[in-house]
Amino acid sequence: MGNGFSIKQILIAIGVVGIFTFIVIGTTSSAFKDNSDMYYEQTEKMIIHNAEIYGKTLESLKTEGSMVITVDDLVKAGYYGDVDGDGNVKNPKNSKATLNGLKIKLVYQSDGSIKASIIEEE
């Protein structure tokens, strides 16, 4: 009898390590997934929500019925605070771009509520 491991024992050890590696990679791969689209959608929802709140303070919106504002307008009015030190709202899809120029249409509804929607650039 030798003092080493048999081929069978080595193959079993390699199989166990392989299964463990497969499980670990499978559970941690989502941690490295690009979530920029999800963060962008959440940012858009927050912008729309804050724009609707801001729209309630605009008397001119009630008389005009609708108007277009930008994210920069929200920032300057204090209705959006997720900005860097220069007052820029970073784009989650592109860290070098900002969303300050993103246009939002505000519409005064007949029930007195405000409906905001992002104007998609073509």
Residues making up the chain, counted from first to last: 122
- Maximum Cα–Cα distance across the chain: 97
55 with 113, same domain: the answer is: yes
Cα 11 to its chain centre, rounded Å, is 46
Note the pTM of the prediction, 2 decimals: 0.70
25 with 58, same domain: the answer is: no
> Whole domain around residue 89: which residue ranges?
34-118
The two structure tokens encoding residue 38: 């999800």
17 with 3, same domain: the answer is: yes
pLDDT digits (tens, 9 = 90+) for 61-106: 988 999 999 999 999 999 988 778 788 888 888 888 899 999 999 9
62 with 107, same domain: the answer is: yes
42 with 24, same domain: the answer is: no
The total number of structural domains that make up the chain:
2
